[in-house]
Chains A and B, each alone.
Chain A
Amino acid sequence: MTSTPATPPPTIGSGHEGNLGDQFRAYFRNLRSGEMGALPALAGFVILVILFSVLSSSFFSPLNFANLLTQAATLMMLAMALVFVILLGEIDLSAGVTSGVTASIVVVLIHNAGVNWIVALVIALVVGAAIGTFIGFFVAKVGIPSFVVTLGLFLGFQGLQLIIIGSGGAYRVETPELVAIMNSNLPIWLGWALFVLAMVIATAIAFFDRNRRTRAGVPNRPLSLLALRLGAIAAAGALFIALMSLDRAASRGSLNGVPIAHDAIEGVPIVVPIAVGILWIGTFILDRTRYGRHLYAVGGNPEAARRAGIKIGAVRIIAFITCSSLAMVSGVFDASRIGVVTAASGGQIVLSGVAAAVVGGVSLFGGRGRLIHAAIGALVIAVIANGLGLLGLPAGANFLVTGGVLILAATIDAVSRKRAGGSLLRT
């Protein structure tokens, strides 16, 4: 390293040394040691996409991809919400009903009280945060297991939702802005503009980090690795936006050689930048802030965290608040997609959310996992439902396959760790 003249280079490595080849070797060594992360889920996703593309002619199309994303968005948001509490080794069984209750509050406020939709969303978000505070208080301060507290809320909130909505009632979502989240698309130029903006920010952050490391006198990973990584993200993003820029509306055919006019469906669905934004901000908080570090620490070893002076009660409460608040977002997504909020909205989704997180590689024991894992896990579960639906298989098959994939994912994780543990003992 030529860039660190001030202090002698540390003889203890940091994993940032070496050229591109060293970095790749280190990465594969890490994989072999059982740190597979989201790789199995990602592989599963690719396999499923290939499988369904072969089996169904309509699967591999921009229209279906856009559909898949909107179908996945609700689950993805809920799974990401759950990651915050699962990282602590806790669980929030009430996240689904929280999403239902908050969505109910939004529609009832808009319909019955004529509240502006933004105000309604803010009120629902506050309610979501309050629910999280409630759970966090009982878990962290009273000391009841989160399973029990949230099981209680799971039961209770189904009743609360019934009271808010009215027995057997249903509210249509008519606010154009709320409907648009799942059913409208960004103008093509805006999609590209947001993409370029995101890439600029990502590059700026990466160089900020490198700069800071250089100033601290520690080695940086090779620039080529950064270029490769950003390039891969940029390529994938550009491909995705280009795909979404195609007209997805079914062609009406042509008359005497002239195509029959139809309204084009093109552009990135509005929900995508919202979900990606929340994923990015959440990941930023988990990876780069003191709170994120403490969250992982409390999830890994609460006693060690406490002795290190971390206020573990506060960490827990904030995690539950984050979870319930993001559950509210998930509820709004669901309401926007279905177009109606009933007394049963959100009642079933929570276990799928947990499944998505686990499939993606988040450990239920806490301390291990990332938001992107949950997002990929949600994509896997959504693609199963989407693909099997296109094949015309009954809903029963969907549940069976999803369950099988969950167990398969957990098995891969356990076996890879066991093998890694064995090799650890040998050294």
Chain B
Amino acid sequence: MDVPVIELTDVRKSFGPVDVLKGVNLQAFAGKVTALVGDNGAGKSTLVKGLAGVQPFDAGEIKFNNEVVSLTTPREAAAHGIEVVYQDLALCENLDIVQNMFLGREEVTAGTLNEGIMEREASETLQSLSVRTVSSVRQKVSSLSGGQRQTVAIARSVLKNAKVVILDEPTAALGVAQTEQVLSLVRRLADSGVAVILISHNLVDVFKVADFVSVLYLGHMVASLDVKDTNNDDVVGYITGSKTYEGKNA
């Protein structure tokens, strides 16, 4: 197996007396989708926030391309090419697609926003992901459907050469057809060479697109499996704690 793009070793995080992450290991590989599953309160969100630099971990080692790095601010995470697409999307509905995709990293020339370059890069990024559901990059996000918004959020994450994209429940609020669209987008995203970490409750989705699945249970990473070597029942067992894993990374 090649070197993981990102590797967490024995990561810990607690809020006051509550230990949320109790020594978690996680790996994600370029071009692969790593699903992160676990029941509510297992620590998925905390793990994501740590990776995003929003809520730094208390302890543990973060390796990026085999180099130890620190992730204490969103800027550091972004500098390493780590992008998060949050469950609630974090888009500004009053802005259009281009403005959202470039939010916080606008192209500026001569002191003013260079709308032309931003427009071109935004539509190129959408095209590279074979997005066909958006008619104009200048549509306001408020006029988009849930699937389209998810598309914009994902496109935003890969705009600036992302190495790791973390998707938090990308299909949670979507209908059947839109779920299908987003999942194929996730696959294309990974095929373009990005390491994708997919957080999901929906094991059908996970088995459809993921290459690996890692299961969190009450702050412990109880299993890290190749999707080919496992099945739905096993993963459900790990999630609910009725089954324990005896292998590496346990």
- Assess whether A25 is interfacial by the CB under 8 Å rule: no
- Closest B residue to A17 using CB positions: B136
- Assess whether B185 is interfacial by the CB under 8 Å rule: no
CB distance from A306 to the nearest CB of B (A): 8
- Determine the distance from Cα of A217 to Cα of B119 in the docked complex, in whole angstroms: 9
Q: Mark A346-360, 1 if CB is under 8 A from B, else 0.
A: 000000000000000
Q: Which residues of B contact A293 (CB under 8 A)?
A: 95, 99, 103, 106, 113
Q: Which residues of B contact A290 (CB under 8 A)?
A: 106, 108, 113
CB distance from A328 to the nearest CB of B (A): 26
- Assess whether B242 is interfacial by the CB under 8 Å rule: no
- Determine the distance from Cα of A191 to Cα of B235 in the docked complex, in whole angstroms: 77
CB distance from B85 to the nearest CB of A (A): 10
Q: Which residues of B contact A300 (CB under 8 A)?
A: 92-95
CB distance from B104 to the nearest CB of A (A): 3
- Assess whether A56 is interfacial by the CB under 8 Å rule: no
CB distance from B133 to the nearest CB of A (A): 10
B-contacting 9-mer, from A127-135, A255-263, A307-315: A307-315
CB distance from B174 to the nearest CB of A (A): 16
Known A14-B138, A15-B138, A301-B90; contact A307-B106, beta-carbon cutoff 8 A? no
State whether A303 touches B120 (Cβ < 8 A). Answer: no
Q: Mark A5-28, 1 if CB is under 8 A from B, else 0.
A: 001001111111000000000000
State whether B99 touches A12 (Cβ < 8 A). Answer: no
Q: Mark B98-140, 1 if CB is under 8 A from A, else 0.
A: 1110011110111111111101100110110001001111101
- Assess whether A367 is interfacial by the CB under 8 Å rule: yes
Interface size class of B (residues with CB under 8 A): 35 or more
Q: Which residues of A contact B92 (CB under 8 A)?
A: 296-297, 300-301, 304-305, 367
Q: Which residues of B contact A16 (CB under 8 A)?
A: 138
- Determine the distance from Cα of A209 to Cα of B52 in the docked complex, in whole angstroms: 36
Q: Which residues of A contact B113 (CB under 8 A)?
A: 288-290, 293
State whether B115 touches A213 (Cβ < 8 A). Answer: yes
Q: Which residues of B contact A297 (CB under 8 A)?
A: 92, 95, 99, 103-104
Other-chain contact of B136, A12, A35, A307, A368 (Cβ < 8 Å):
A12
State whether B75 touches A309 (Cβ < 8 A). Answer: yes
State whether A309 touches B74 (Cβ < 8 A). Answer: yes
- Assess whether B86 is interfacial by the CB under 8 Å rule: yes
Q: Which residues of B contact A184 (CB under 8 A)?
A: none
State whether B143 touches A305 (Cβ < 8 A). Answer: no
- Assess whether A418 is interfacial by the CB under 8 Å rule: no
- Assess whether A212 is interfacial by the CB under 8 Å rule: yes
Q: Which residues of A contact B99 (CB under 8 A)?
A: 293, 296-297
- Determine the distance from Cα of A309 to Cα of B79 in the docked complex, in whole angstroms: 12
- Assess whether B236 is interfacial by the CB under 8 Å rule: no
State whether A216 touches B114 (Cβ < 8 A). Answer: yes
State whether A308 touches B135 (Cβ < 8 A). Answer: no
Identify which of A11, A216, A367 gathers the most chain B CB atoms within 10 Å of its CB: A216
CB distance from A346 to the nearest CB of B (A): 31
Q: Which residues of A contact B105 (CB under 8 A)?
A: 308-309
Listed in ascending order, the chain B residues whose CB lies under 8 Å from chain A are 52, 54, 74-75, 78, 84, 86, 88-95, 98-100, 103-106, 108-117, 119-120, 123-124, 126-127, 131, 134-138, 140, 143
Can you list 10 A-B contacts (CB < 8 A)?
A: A16-B138, A212-B109, A212-B116, A216-B116, A217-B116, A218-B120, A293-B106, A296-B95, A305-B104, A308-B104
